[in-house]
Every structure is written in structure tokens, then in C-alpha cells.
């Protein structure tokens, strides 16, 4: 149990199935019904412990998501996402370049999940 856990979900077209899956946690959930490049403006920098990116897999879109959302990660927090695999070549390239620029080691788990923190624990 994590009593202070809050989820902020970014989805431009929230479908009934998504709302149903989140329903048990609705007291902890806040939906931002907008595209990622707009929704990031709703949150202050360094305010999130985890940012999980699973959007458009095209290279430039992933580059943009990383640029817009990485400042939202608090010091010591984690940047993570999905599709670091053959179906996400744009993801692999963008995440790898970002990690290299920030001296971060990418960890890849089963089902193509990736995550890392900056070597110094910060993003800003």
C-alpha cells in the first residue's frame, strides 16, 4: 500500500476500457485529456517521481516526449517507457540518444520496458 501514490494519466481520447481499468484507483488518478505536447504544461518541473512514456513510436515524437517530460521528473526519480524493441525502432534510437546525452544507463526489462535515471540523479 502506497497511501500517497497519485497517478496522472495523459490520454487524448480516453476510452471506457481505460476508465474501467483505473476505476479501483480513481481516488488516486487524475486524467489529462490532451496530447502529450500540451499536457506537460499542466505539471510543474521536478514534480513527478516517475514519468512513463508509451505514446507514438516515431523517432521525432519520442524525442519530443523525452524533451518535454524529462524536466517533470524530480531529482532521484525515474524516466521509463515501453516499446524498446523491434516494433519501436524510433523508441530505441531516441531513448538511446537521450540516455547518452545524460550519461544514463538504460535498463530494459521483459516486454520491451525501459527505464533509467540520470547518473547524478537529476534531469535539469
Q: How far lies 95's CA from each of 5, 69, 74, in Å?
A: 26, 13, 19
Looking up residue 73, the CATH number of its domain turns out to be 3.40.50.150
Question: What is the residue range of 70's domain?
Answer: 34-116
Q: CA-based angle 82:14:9, to the nearest 5?
A: 50
Q: pLDDT tens digit string along 6-65?
A: 999 999 999 999 999 999 999 999 999 999 999 999 999 999 999 999 999 999 999 999
Q: How many domains does the chain have?
A: 1
Q: Specify if 27 maps to a domain.
A: no
Put residue 76 in one of left, alpha, beta given phi > 0 → left and psi -120 to 50 → alpha: left
Strands 73-81 and 48-53: parallel
Q: Specify if 49 maps to a domain.
A: yes
Q: Specify if 122 maps to a domain.
A: no
Q: Specify if 124 maps to a domain.
A: no
Over 70: is that where the pLDDT of 123 sits? Answer: no
How confident is the prediction for the chain on average, in pLDDT?
90
The predicted structure's pLDDT at residue 75? 86
Q: Specify if 90 maps to a domain.
A: yes
Q: Specify if 66 maps to a domain.
A: yes
Q: Specify if 60 maps to a domain.
A: yes
What's this model's pTM, rounded to 2 decimal places?
Answer: 0.88
Q: Specify if 57 maps to a domain.
A: yes
Q: CA-based angle 92:39:116, to the nearest 5?
A: 35
Q: pLDDT tens digit string along 63-119?
A: 999 999 999 998 888 999 999 998 889 999 999 999 999 888 899 998 899 998 866
Amino acid at each position: 500500500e502506497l497511501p500517497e501514490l497519485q497517478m496522472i494519466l495523459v490520454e487524448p481520447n480516453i476510452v471506457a476500457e481505460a476508465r474501467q481499468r483505473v476505476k479501483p484507483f480513481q481516488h488516486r488518478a487524475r486524467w489529462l485529456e490532451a496530447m502529450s505536447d500540451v499536457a506537460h504544461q499542466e505539471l510543474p518541473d521536478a514534480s513527478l517521481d516517475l514519468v512513463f512514456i508509451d505514446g507514438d513510436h516515431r523517432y521525432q515524437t519520442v524525442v519530443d516526449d523525452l524533451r518535454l517530460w524529462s524536466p517533470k521528473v524530480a531529482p532521484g526519480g525515474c524516466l521509463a517507457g515501453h516499446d524498446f524493441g523491434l516494433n519501436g525502432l524510433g523508441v530505441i534510437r531516441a531513448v538511446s540518444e537521450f540516455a547518452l546525452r545524460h550519461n544514463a544507463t538504460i535498463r530494459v526489462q521483459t516486454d520491451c520496458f525501459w527505464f533509467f535515471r540520470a547518473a547524478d540523479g537529476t534531469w535539469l
